[in-house]
Chain A
Amino acid sequence: NAGVTQTPKFRVLKTGQSMTLLCAQDMNHEYMYWYRQDPGMGLRLIHYSVGEGTTAKGEVPDGYNVSRLKKQNFLLGLESAAPSQTSVYFCASSYSKVVGTALNQPQHFGDGTRLSIL
């Protein structure tokens, strides 16, 4: 059982380049999330999804887009990378309907993608 898998683990981009971060979960979770982690700022929510085909903006959505075409995958796109987007990106998922309500089902995290933009 792999849990939450993020690819790639590391990437260096030049300003203006685009790329897509991939997140896959095998726990049949309904909810998926993208966060960025910056020193001293904890985790900030970029976008999230409460089900296949749905997405919503989080706390810091500007400069990012997401898609959830399949329940198990949540993609984060940077259309034109900027140095301010240098960060560690974490994907998380939660809530299996088989287990019960969402109230006591915590988020499960991937190992992160370290992204540097020059």
Chain B
Amino acid sequence: GEDVEQSLFLSVREGDSSVINCTYTDSSSTYLYWYKQEPGAGLQLLTYIFSNMDMKQDQRLTVLLNKKDKHLSLRIADTQTGDSAIYFCAEAYTGGFKTIFGAGTRLFVKA
């Protein structure tokens, strides 16, 4: 069945780059998303990539997609303490209304 997997924790120093990885199983997915969840809040969409793209850059965020390996990554350049949060990878398919979420990667940024 459909599944999205992520590592649970990542710790980086302020100013370094963070790379959060995700693997997915459904080859028919259309859009792949990254959401950010800050403490006590809901999920907010950070960025997304269409499944026929390899890379998307949006300011400090770079999304890389390896369709062959079904691997998605989110790179945050110049990581700041305000980037500390849980990051969810998600894939959408079946016409767009079904979305499967990973368990989330908790990013710790050390000053």
A residues at B contact (CB < 8 Å): 4, 31, 35, 40-43, 48, 50, 90, 92, 94-95, 101-112
Residues in B neighbouring A105, C-beta threshold 8 A: 96
Judged by a CB distance under 8 angstroms, whether B82 is at the interface is no
- Number of residue pairs spanning A and B whose beta carbons lie under 8 angstroms apart: 61
Question: By the criterion CB–CB under 8 Å, are A101 and B96 in contact?
Answer: yes
B residues at A contact (CB < 8 Å): 4, 8, 30-31, 33, 35, 40-45, 48, 50, 88, 92, 95-97, 99, 101-104
Question: By the criterion CB–CB under 8 Å, are A102 and B95 in contact?
Answer: yes
Question: By the criterion CB–CB under 8 Å, are B41 and A112 in contact?
Answer: yes
Question: By the criterion CB–CB under 8 Å, are A42 and B102 in contact?
Answer: yes
> Given A40-B8, A42-B88, A42-B103, A111–B97 Cβ distance below 8 Å?
no
The contact sample of 15 A-B pairs, CB cut-off 8 A, is A35-B101, A42-B88, A43-B43, A90-B43, A102-B95, A102-B96, A103-B92, A103-B96, A104-B48, A104-B96, A106-B45, A107-B45, A109-B42, A111-B40, A112-B42
